[in-house]
Amino acid sequence: MVFRHLLATLILGLVVAVAAPVASVRASEPLQLTQQDLDDLERLESHLRSIGTLEARFIQVSSDGGFARGTLWLDRPGKMRFEYDPPVPILMIANGLELLYYDRELEQPTFVPLWQTPLWLVLKEEATLSDGIEVMGFRRSPAELSVRVRDAGAPDGGELVLRFAEQPLSLLGWTVIDAQGIATEVSLVDPLWGVAVDSARFESRGLPNVGLGR
């Protein structure tokens, strides 16, 4: 049940930082952006839009004690697959229009419009950290830069932190916190950028109880 709650949080929640140093500076009002903030946002948006394909292992941890590993594939815009290692029975597939959350053990699918998920910010073609987004904070160090944001239309829904390595700029992962304060952090391990990814990975055909048209 911990795994299922952790994964449901990833899909249905908005996101924020799990680490105490970020949470300790959480603000109730958006940041008043400086020129440095604006310059960093432009850099991060440009990097997100430059991402094409990705294959990586990932580690996922939750502030309620959940832990999981797996492999993900990304093909922007719109497509992503999270395949969790056993014993976690969950598969998630974003096909460009919707996100499928599939429990292999129960053979139970749940579909969510992709634009309603935190993943949309990264997956949509014109990835943005400004349009309809409120910036809540930055963390900067010589090695890493992170930005904390929330949906301007749902300020009580949660927040998202995207983490980037500096020099060269590269996405490290993200953290999700739902409205109840459960934080889920995903970290990329040994990412391979720009690799060929089989389009069949983003299809759900063959999964029991999933509609044939999907």
**Model pLDDT, residue 129:** 86
Per-residue pLDDT tens over the stretch 99-143? 999 999 999 999 988 887 777 888 888 888 888 888 989 999 999
pTM over 0.85: no
Q: 2-190 has which CATH code?
A: 2.50.20.10
Q: How far apart are CA 122 and CA 124, in angstroms?
A: 6
Angle, CA of 85, 120 and 68, to the nearest 5°: 20
What is the token pair recorded at 14? 């908005």
Is the peptide bond preceding residue 191 cis, with omega within 30 degrees of 0? no
